Structure 1
Amino acid sequence: MRPVVGTAIGLGAALLLTAGMTTASATPPTPPPARASAQHPVLVDCLWHQRYRPSDFILACGDGNSLLSDMHWTQWNDTTAVAEGVNMVNDCKPYCAAGKFRSYPVTVRLDRPTAWTKHPNVQHFTRLNLTYSGAKPEGYAQVMKYAMWN
């Protein structure tokens, strides 16, 4: 009686394997994912992640003493992105660990998209401009231009 049970299990496994192979071969192949180059450019963050219309963004990757927050994007296309937000900057007084973060309203503008070195089929913005609408951090110009990492 044991050989019958072993044969039945073997036949069942063979049928399942055949059914699985038939189903797999009968299923049409899935189309390749859309190429990233067909999408709008992205903003690359400190951890090398692609960001699209982020609500926050760290500008000072080394120490986190400058970040953008509450960003509301009014434009994001193949050449430019524009947002209104807040630049939170540590005043580092008397030194950065004891400093206080101050809020400054800004207009954020991204431009100069180019192929990203890490993923050449992905376009990313290579320049970020901040325009302070009122007060600005000590030592900053009214318009600050940052080259973005690649």
Structure 2
Amino acid sequence: MVGHLARTAVTLCAAAALAAPLGTASAAPSADRDPTPRHRTPQPVLIDCAQRPEVRPEAFIIACGDGNSVLTSLQWSRWDARAAVATGVNDVNDCDPDCAAGTFLAYPVTVRLDRARVAEQDAGQTRFTRLSLTYTDGRPDGYPAVVTYPLPG
């Protein structure tokens, strides 16, 4: 009886050991099928101040020279080949009495990226070349309700 149980256990272990690689091999995608359609355009990117491409960033510095205008808490509802849309906050330095001693004030905004273009420097990369902010509840002194910035293309 003990010999029978031992043989059964060995047989089951051997069967499991042989079945494991088969399961993995059968689950692997076929080498001749490319899961990425070739007709799809690469997703456009947003280029940050360090010239790095980003997709759906949580924050973005608008004023690269001094950091006095930053988008934060970005929640993207759209990001495709034509446009990207997010809600978030534009933290803007009031520069009072000067920018070094100023206070950052938060303004809710809707962010829109559009005008995706193939990059001049990198022909394989599509970049958004325009950023628009719509202030939804207050805005910095002297700012219009909608501000549009060109982005490097």
TM exceeding 0.5: yes
Shift in Å, 1:84: 0.3
TM score, norm. by length of structure 2? 0.73
Matches within 5 A, 1:48-127: 48-127=51-130
Following the alignment from structure 1 to structure 2, what is the Cα–Cα distance between the partners of residues 42 and 117? 14
Shift in Å, 1:117: 2.0
Following the alignment from structure 1 to structure 2, what is the Cα–Cα distance between the partners of residues 129 and 38? 23
Shift in Å, 1:62: 0.2
CA offsets 1:61-114 (integer angstroms, 9 cap, x no match): 000000000000000000000000000000000000000000000000000000
Shift in Å, 1:118: 2.2
Q: Moved runs in structure 1, 4+ residues, more than 2 A?
A: none
Following the alignment from structure 2 to structure 1, what is the Cα–Cα distance between the partners of residues 152 and 135? 22
**Unpaired segments ≥5 residues, structure 2:** 1-33
Following the alignment from structure 2 to structure 1, what is the Cα–Cα distance between the partners of residues 71 and 81? 22
Following the alignment from structure 1 to structure 2, what is the Cα–Cα distance between the partners of residues 117 and 94? 41
1:128 is aligned with what amino acid? L
CA offsets 1:17-73 (integer angstroms, 9 cap, x no match): xxxxxxxxxxxxxx9xx99x8321000011110000000000000000000000000
Q: Is the aligned partner of 1:40 residue 2:48? A: no
TM score, norm. by length of structure 1? 0.75
The RMSD of aligned alpha carbons is: 1.8
Conserved 8 A contact 2:41-2:81: no
